[in-house]
């Protein structure tokens, strides 16, 4: 596994490196969290309650049993979401500085097999790509985490436009792995005279058809350490994890790997650590099965909800978007998730598969849904609507979330195209953060 790292705080992780198969640097049993009872961490309690024999399981059993895990019922994260939403309730707001984070999959995927044969391409690339930088940098977010900025020319254009708008770009070399990640930090959010550090790595767990004999895609992450003038050091991670429910276990392994790294950095430095990206995993799915047009059935959707608590638990993180939601929207992943319609016969004719479903389902929760024109074109009827895009932050009394919202939900005009800017919606979180004591 290619590794280039300079970020503070990873020494202890590297020192534990052994032959770890596809679990990254730390093999199963090499982290204390592996041996927690599954029912003990708050983020896993609803998973343990829903699994057959869940009271007897350890966290490590997720990875050892894999598809052998059997759900007796749907895991319901209502208690987790409600408690997360209440985290700010007793925290004073005085003496804190604002910090805003935007995460957005911009769907500029353009990949050829062996550099010659078209492999995957997002819809309407040419008409959207020129307008996206202006829309994104106009938000003024302090930290901008983008996924699927794939080609060198897109990296160059986003970097140029970002610099013109007062942002500093951070992007890993497009060698070793390429998953379209690029991060921008506002120049005025970086204290003068301080240095910034870029870290990146590919995950130990990869889907071989994406890498070889596929087009050489290796999922991974990048991390940027910078010093904010009013907050101190911040470590901002950006990732795009494995897609599709049948790959749920590989995605959970990726969540474990990144979570251990982030927790280690937070514990060793006391700094603010956050991550955003397209995690391809929502916190809730109402049913295990989904029938796509044509009759194909995928049956790992309940398993697909496991990566979310895995990252929270191993990383000692909280869901910043849920922290910043209005109370009446705290459990919308569940309440709106229960209204999702799976009708293979109508799914390609009606976005959302039922007349009126999109109109009565507000764009407050799901970031991946057929109610998005481009998502419907690309995935129509094949995927559960869900909140796949997240911002997580280290669980610290230093942080308050004042607001969170789903963004880029409106259609725009791109020449003769009228559509949303991307096939995903973005997520923005506004925080108040105190300086490290």
Residue 218 has a pLDDT of 86
Whole-number Cα distances in Å, 262 to 236, 268, 305: 10, 10, 20
Determine the pLDDT at residue 74: 98
Predicted local distance difference test score (pLDDT) of residue 117 = 55
According to the model, what pLDDT value does residue 273 have? Answer: 98
- Of 426, 430, 429, nearest to 387 by C-alpha is 426
pLDDT of residue 122: 83
Round to whole Å and give the CA distance between 207 and 124: 26
How far apart, in whole angstroms, are the C-alpha atoms of residue 379 and residue 369?
Answer: 9
Q: What is the pLDDT of residues 1-31, one digit of tens each?
A: 222 232 323 322 332 233 346 999 999 999 9
User: What does the pLDDT read at residue 113?
Assistant: 55
pLDDT tens, position by position, 378-417 = 999 999 999 999 999 999 999 999 999 999 999 999 999 9
Q: Is the dihedral of CA 396, 402, 406, 407 positive or negative?
A: negative
135 by Cβ neighbours in 10 Å (0-12 / 13-18 / 19+) ranks as middle
- The per-residue pLDDT for range 180-235, each reduced to its tens digit, is 999 999 999 999 999 999 999 999 999 888 877 777 788 999 999 999 999 999 99
- pLDDT tens digits, one per residue of 276-335: 999 999 999 999 999 999 999 999 999 999 999 999 999 999 999 999 999 999 999 999
What confidence score (pLDDT) does residue 224 get?
Answer: 98
Over residues 407-430, the mean pLDDT reads: 96
* Cα 270 from chain centroid (whole Å): 23
pLDDT for res 124: 87
- Structural domains of the chain sorted by starting position, each given as residue range(s) with its CATH number in brackets: 3-79 (no CATH), 83-434 (3.60.10.10)
Residue 347 burial (CB < 10 Å; 0-12/13-18/19+)? buried
Q: What is the pLDDT of residues 107-116, one digit of tens each?
A: 998 776 555 5
**For residue 91, pLDDT beyond 90:** yes
Q: What is the mean pLDDT of residues 350-375?
A: 97
Round to the nearest angstrom and report the end-to-end CA distance of the chain.
37
pLDDT in tens, 45-71: 999 999 999 999 999 999 999 999 999
Return the minimum-mean-pLDDT range out of 81-95, 97-111, 132-146, 164-178.
164-178
What mean pLDDT comes out for the span 31-56? 98
Backbone phi, psi, residue 76, to 5°? -115, 115
Q: Is the dihedral of CA 78, 42, 237, 437 positive or negative?
A: positive
pLDDT of residue 9: 30
Mean pLDDT, residues 253-257: 98
Alpha-carbon distance of 364 to 324, in angstroms, equals 12
Residue 175 — pLDDT band, cuts 50, 70, 90?
low
Reply yes or no on whether the pLDDT at 252 is more than 50.
Answer: yes
Rounded to whole angstroms, how far apart are CA atoms 94 and 202? Answer: 40
Percent of the chain with pLDDT over 70: 92
């Amino acid at each position: 596994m290619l590794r280039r790292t300079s970020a503070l705080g990873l020494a202890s992780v590297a020192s534990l490196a052994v032959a770890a198969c596809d679990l990254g640097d730390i093999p199963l049993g090499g982290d204390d969290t592996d041996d927690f009872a599954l029912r003990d961490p708050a983020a896993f309690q609803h998973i343990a309650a829903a699994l057959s024999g869940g009271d007897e399981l350890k966290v490590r059993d997720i990875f050892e049993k894999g598809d052998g895990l059997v759900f007796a019922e749907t895991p319901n994260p209502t208690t987790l979401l409600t408690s997360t939403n209440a985290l700010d309730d007793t925290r004073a707001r005085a003496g804190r500085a604002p910090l805003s984070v935007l995460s957005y999959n911009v769907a500029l995927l353009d990949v050829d097999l062996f550099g010659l044969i078209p492999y995957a391409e997002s819809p309407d690339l040419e008409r959207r790509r020129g307008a996206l930088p202006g829309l994104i940098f106009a938000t003024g977010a302090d930290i901008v985490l983008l996924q699927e900025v794939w080609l060198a020319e897109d990296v160059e254009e986003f970097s140029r436009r970002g610099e013109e708008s007062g942002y500093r770009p951070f992007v890993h070399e497009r060698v070793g792995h390429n998953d379209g990640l690029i991060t921008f930090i506002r120049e005025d959010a970086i204290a003068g005279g301080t240095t910034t550090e870029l870290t990146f790595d590919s995950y130990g767990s990869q889907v071989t058809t994406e890498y070889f004999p596929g087009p050489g895609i290796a999922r991974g992450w990048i991390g940027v350490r910078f010093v904010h003038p009013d907050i101190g050091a911040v470590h901002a991670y950006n990732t795009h994890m494995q897609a599709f429910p049948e790959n749920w276990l590989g995605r959970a392994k990726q969540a474990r790997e990144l979570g251990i790294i982030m927790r280690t950095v937070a514990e060793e430095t006391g700094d603010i650590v956050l991550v955003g990206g397209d995690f391809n995993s929502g916190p809730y799915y109402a049913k295990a099965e989904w029938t796509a047009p044509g009759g194909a059935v995928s049956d790992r959707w309940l398993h697909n909800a496991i990566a979310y608590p895995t990252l929270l638990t191993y990383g000692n993180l909280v869901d910043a978007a849920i922290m910043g939601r209005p109370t009446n929207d705290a459990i919308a992943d569940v309440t709106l998730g229960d209204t999702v319609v799976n009708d293979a016969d109508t799914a390609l004719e009606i976005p959302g598969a039922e007349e009126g479903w999109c109109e009565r389902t507000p764009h407050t929760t799901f970031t991946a849904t057929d109610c998005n024109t481009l998502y419907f074109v690309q995935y129509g009827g094949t995927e559960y609507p869900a909140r796949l895009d997240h911002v997580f932050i280290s669980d610290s009394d230093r942080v308050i979330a004042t607001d969170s919202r789903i963004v880029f939900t409106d259609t725009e005009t791109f020449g003769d195209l009228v559509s949303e800017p991307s096939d995903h919606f973005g997520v923005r979180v506004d925080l108040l953060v105190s300086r490290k004591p």
